[in-house]
Amino acid sequence: MQDRWLRIGVALSLAFLFTSAYAQTKRPNVVIILADDLGYRDVGFQGFDKEIKTPNIDALAKSGVRFTNAYVSCPVCSPSRAGLLTGRYQEKFGHEHNPAPDIEDRGKFGLPLDQITIANVMKNAAYATGAIGKWHEGTKPEYRPQKRGFDEFFGFLGGAHGYLNSKIETGGENSIRRGDTPVDEPMYLTDAIGREAVSFIDRHQKEPFFLYVPFNAVHTPQAAPPRYQKPFEDFTDHKRHMMLSMLYALDENVGKIIAKIRDAGLEDNTLIIFFSDNGGPTDSNGSENTPLRGYKGQVWEGGIRIPFAMHWKGQISGDQVIDQKIISLDLFPTILAATGVSPDEKLKLDGVNLLPLVKGEAKFTAHQTLYWRFSPAWAIRDGDFKLLTTRDGKKGLYDLSKDIGEKKNLLTAMPDKAAELQKKYDAWAATLVKPLWEGRQEGKPMDAKASEDGSAEKD
């Protein structure tokens, strides 16, 4: 009898050791949470406004790392997402603009089919892959998420959608979809996206998963149920009131996603990333980018510099603030490194692996130089200096280490530095291709006043 219990004890011990070893070696999950049109100032962890209620997003940043010099590769939605999904400067494959409403054969618009997405790679690595929210990378069947590496999709294909009681739309291209089937969605859309993200995690918690959650909050049209509006009922600025209400809803659903990861015992094995697809369009939705200059649609800092946080319990130490320049293109190689997937040379990635930096394993400069072309506007940041040309042809040179608001133009005072950056930009621009379609701003520059004060362009 004693030998029998001894054998049972040994078996249980081996089972425990095997389970523990498996938990430690199990490939990590990845969750990307993307906000839409969120201002640089508009999350609590940025430390600006007490009126902002984002406790779940703030906790994510507090327990991980936040970057103060984080950028996206374009100041508008679709190209920014194309860069994120491919890890490449999207101007290299012609995805430079959102589509104009009147471009010929709008059906050709979409992330070019010869581009490999992060979802393609993760799916090939036997990850369950899901996209839940706003797609905006093409509406025709060949451009849709489930043709671009995602096993599952819930959301809409276009660039914007209403939030309340969504019905199947005539024609169906921008209807809420489950997979490729249009569906009615009675729930507030931000809550529905949160619900579906939680469901995906629940169904795939026993296998490695890659989950992309591009919320459409806080993009217009503005709408929020009364319970999300109540904390801001004293605000007289309607747009700001609604933006904060929608942001509150976004944060609550981010909290649900994090809670599900935690309750499933996956927090130690899940890399979570939060940021915005571009700067806030203040005129449209009441977002705030100050102390940065400019807005969505511009290559001023307010259009391209975004709040960014990364969390991985047990792997990334909390309370970290990193001031180095990074860009959303870095997420592709960082995710490959985190999951142990070897990058293929044919990916031609422009980003760098940030994992050694955030884990404190190595000190290095992630990027000396970053570039943007949103023709006819463009910009280059080299070290702390930034050279740019606005849509109306005005040029500026700024030292961002001393002038984050881009107020003091050093073009006349430092012509040699301007020439140096111009040469670098020209060399990079020579590697780009012609945009595959015109953007809605093409040929419609801002007026001089708007260029000088950083007023928002319509999108």
DSSP state of 324: E
DSSP state of 114: T
Q: What is the largest CA-CA distance in the chain?
A: 92
What 3-state class would DSSP assign to 49?
A: coil
**Residue 311, CA atoms < 13 Å, CB-side half-sphere:** 24
* Strand arrangement of the beta sheet that strand 29-35 belongs to: 181-182, 177-178, 152-156, 128-134, 209-214, 29-35, 270-276, 308-311, 65-71, 320-327
Q: Tokens in use for 313?
A: 């319990």
Helix (H) or strand (E) holding 13: helix 2-25
Question: Do residues 287 and 222 touch, judged by C-beta distance below 8 A?
Answer: no
Q: What angle, rounded to 10 degrees, do the helices at 238-263 and 189-204 form?
A: 10
Cβ density class 26-41: b for 16+ within 10 Å, e for less: ebbbbbbbbbbbbbbb
- Is 136 among the residues known to form the active site? yes
270 pairs with which residues across the strands?
29
Instruction: Catalytic residue, from 95, 136, 204, 219: name it.
Output: 136
Specify the length of the chain in residues: 459
Instruction: Catalytic residue, from 77, 97, 311, 367: name it.
Output: 77
Q: For the purposes of burial, counting CB atoms within 10 Å of the CB of 102, is it exposed (0-12), middle (13-18) or buried (19 or more)?
A: exposed
Helix (H) or strand (E) holding 134: strand 128-134
Q: Tokens in use for 287?
A: 């977002």
- Is 74 among the residues known to form the active site? no
Helix (H) or strand (E) holding 15: helix 2-25
Backbone angles phi, psi at 389, to 5 degrees: -125, 130
Separation in Å, CA 338 to CA 278, 304, 313, 353, 391: 25, 26, 13, 9, 39
Residues carrying an active site annotation: 77, 136
